[in-house]
Amino acid sequence: MTDRPKDKAALAQRIRDTEMDGAPDQMRAAFSHLFAPLPDVLTETIAGVPCGMFGEGPPILWLHGGGLVLGSPETHALAAGYVAQATGRQVIVPDYPKAPEHKWPAQPDAAQAVLEALGCVPVVGDSVGGQLALIMWMRRPDLVQRLVLMSPNTDRTGLSETRKRDADLMNDHEGDESFARMALGDYDPTDPEVSPATADLTGLPPTMILACGAEILLDDSLIFARRAALAGAEVDLRVWPGLWHLFPLWPDLIPEGRAALDAAAHYITEVSPSSPARA
């Protein structure tokens, strides 16, 4: 069994030492290694999609990241469990179909099926899961109460300048583009489902965006927040200096990750003065 890193520095070293290349199954194993040892997760099938279930109470839908190729309820268990405990609600993490075995739009279609089975709920998404969360709002605005987006993918049209840098331990532009081609094929970057920042954001529900200063997707958060605000949306944007992509997924090792999840939990459970009361 792989021992858990003892602190943030040891985790950073594990990330540096882990090669994220090879066949999809090899990359998935490497990604899982970053979170090892993985816990056993209670799963249920919702609308034909296996889902990790964390906590009890009214549901929260969490769409996990991993470039549409990697990730699972197990890799996101610590973060999802933390939010479940902090909110007193059940967090549901669909294990949606992965590329390249399953081509787009299998991923948002599966997420939509789960959302429609749950009804109107808060939706959380990290990385490409943030993109999926925004697609859920675009497809079914009546079913998305509010959004929490953690370092979301929102723009593939070339506006981002931070995608060009190499300061991010967890992500790089070439890898992000490789996953996109693997999942989306010959995609149109101006398609709102590919680049949600290009969508008409009128009517976007209250939205929290959490990011960090050193990640390549920082501009994806900043560009989207600006466009959402100009469209009249309520936006709460928080950026932690330094760190790396997906930092909230290790709340036991990264204090800033705990702070981000605490902020997310509060945002999910509070009732904004500018929005109606929600169940």
Catalytic residue among 32, 72, 74, 127: 127
Q: Do residues 122 and 268 touch, judged by C-beta distance below 8 A? A: yes
Catalytic residue among 74, 151, 195, 215: 215
Q: Which two tokens stand for residue 56?
A: 């009890």
Using CA atoms, how far apart are residues 147 and 131, in angstroms rounded to an integer? Answer: 11
Other beta carbons within 10 angstroms of residue 264's beta carbon come to 27
Residue where the block lists tokens 């610590």: 78
Q: Where are the beta strands (DSSP E) in the chain?
A: 43-46, 49-54, 59-63, 90-94, 121-126, 144-150, 207-212, 235-240
For helices 255-269 and 77-87, what crossing angle results, to 10°?
50
For helices 106-118 and 128-139, what crossing angle results, to 10°?
60
Establish whether 127 is a catalytic residue.
yes
Which residues belong to the active site?
127, 215
